[in-house]
Structure 1
Amino acid sequence: MKKIITPKDIFRQLKADLIGKDSYRGVTLTYTWLANQFGHFSLGFIPTFVVFLILKKHIPESRAALNAALGVSMAWLVFETYNFLGPLLSDKARKRYVFQPAWGNIAFDTITDLLYFWSGAFMASILCGYTPTALSILLILTAMVLYPAYYWYLTKMYLQTPSYPFQFRLSQWNTESLPQKDIDEIRRFLDNKGHGMHLFLFGPKRSGKTSLSVGIATELSIRHHTAVYTSAMKLYCMFFEHDDATSADVLWTWRKASILVIDDINPGDPIKHDLITPDQFLSFVDTFSTNDINRTVLRQTNVIWVLGDDDRLSERWKDMLLNIGVEKEKLISLNLQPYAPPMIRGEYDLHMQS
């Protein structure tokens, strides 16, 4: 059975984020999200307080406090609307994407930010000069922010558990060297509703195999799929591990994941020979397996295989999976060309940090 994140897991993670010092344990994505939202709250609170100090010299304090909150809230609404609609309505900005950003997801992220901006503004308004109107608005905003807070905190848990080597959204992939047929195959893998889809990525050094695999898996993590990123060498050791040893940092093992990324199976150019053949890989699967559990998991899991640069061997890898029961129509093979994948930095591609 594939793992899902439970309310107990969320509470355990929240407790870990709120109690203790990050100076000696590192910072998680969930902790970063909490700190970021506190920053948004503060960016509503502090400007409202400053504007209130200016307005109270000219109008009554209660009115000054309410007007300050309304003014700051309107300013953030204008800023975020421009920030969101600018690239969305720009043909030039849209055309630079090989894979379009998840605009609906970004819109939801923008709305979440606004709720925290506005909450900070009206909290400051109440403290500076109480009015029933400000209190009513704050209570409404508090109720409205509950679901977004739950959704984004849960999403960060799905993103941090796989231990991706870096943060990379699929929309950051910006190269015209990817043929349309390959783009369509990647979308087919992403939109697959079933299990047991396998994507082989071949290509030499700097072809972007790892970046593409992380980008695809990241999109699925944001959709709340359980994922595991691992190198082939680590996976060989994981073949004989038990599934009952989990912690707050490792909520699921590779057998409980719905998407598995196996990186560095073979290095590719400049190393000319494949270090691991399909037969050798299958021998590792079977050596440490009991009751064919490893074969069953590989057959039923969506897997991204990051291989070397010789795609002539793709048929041998496909044959290995066909022999363990994977359906032929669920096998996809892509050969990437070398390039240096540029990063498109901005609100749209890195909103996962918000």
Structure 2
Amino acid sequence: MALRILRAIVGVLLGASGALIYAASWERWAGACQWWSTVESALCTKRQDHRYDFVPPIGAWEPVGDAAQLAGWSLLVLALAFVLLPWALTGTRPGVFSAAALVMAVLATVAVGVATRRSGLTGSLVAPISGDFAMYVWFFVPPVLLVRFAVAAHGWSRAAAVWLVLAAPLVAGFSYAMGSYDSMPWWEALSGVLTALAGLCLLGAAVFSGRARSPDSAATGARRPQRRGRHPELAADWAGLHAAGTGGARPPGGGFDAGRPRRVQVERPSRGASMTVRSTLTHAAAGALLVNAVPHGVAALVNRPFPSPFADPPGVGLSGRLPNAVWSAVNAAVGVCLLRRHDASVRDRVALVVSGSATAVALAAYFGSLDLDR
């Protein structure tokens, strides 16, 4: 119950941080650039200049509305969420090195957030405490930590970590934040949406995690005993024989192995047919989604127009970098969510590979039939 409450709190904080940075992006781009349009007006091109960047303000910075104040609050809320993030994502206490990196990331995020908010209030550039060092830590350390937490997390929590990695400034700076002039329009809003999706995944983990309990444990409230070793039944059988009076002594004439308990074949409970079919279909869907995320993500990285469901007509017309980045992130995150099981059978893995390969062939044939150079 405590872990669920913790995940709910962090989920709400991430949602609030994402909403604030989205509002800050609205202050910069609304009225100047349309979200999905590839046609850029003169005002839109002007707003793309780095001097209007507010995450964080640097160089010859010029304020636009309340963007910097809202971005500063977003970073401060995000820093508060980061304090609890390792427990919310992995359910365990971070190690020594992860804890040290977490402290550095939180302090750097607070420093950058305070400087960003003060810049917005004063209308002039305010450098963070410790200067460029805080900026470098804020830029590089959180994505590394989030990747570490994503590896250790499971299910909904792993999906939340993946969303946060995609929302990190380091990832954005080399992908969807790069525009044709300087900054990509609305890239801060996309980062905010990804952060809010991470919060929704943690809320999903708080609601749905731990619900799959056996009828006996659900009725009695008993927890599943922890295993120690690969076959705890063998250890229990050994202890039972000795408790019955063997005392570890060998029977006369019994030889060396006479006093040892017989090896017991442990039968593992088999999954039901419906659960097996559902798991196989889930892995097949995950393979298709993960493969589908690749071409759209590559198109977004190289800034090449590519078909997406947001084009006109959907799947045939060409979309810009931002729609393809969003569609790639959605496919990747949903695919990771579907792979939340860790006891996948051989059939599940085969379904994952076959589905991914078939999807790759189908996509190659489909996109090859389109005129992508028009």
TM normalised by structure 1 equals 0.28
Identify the structure with bigger relative contact order (alpha carbons < 8 Å, sequence gap 6+).
1
Q: Which has the higher strand share?
A: 1
TM normalised by structure 2 equals 0.26
Q: Which has the higher helix share?
A: 2
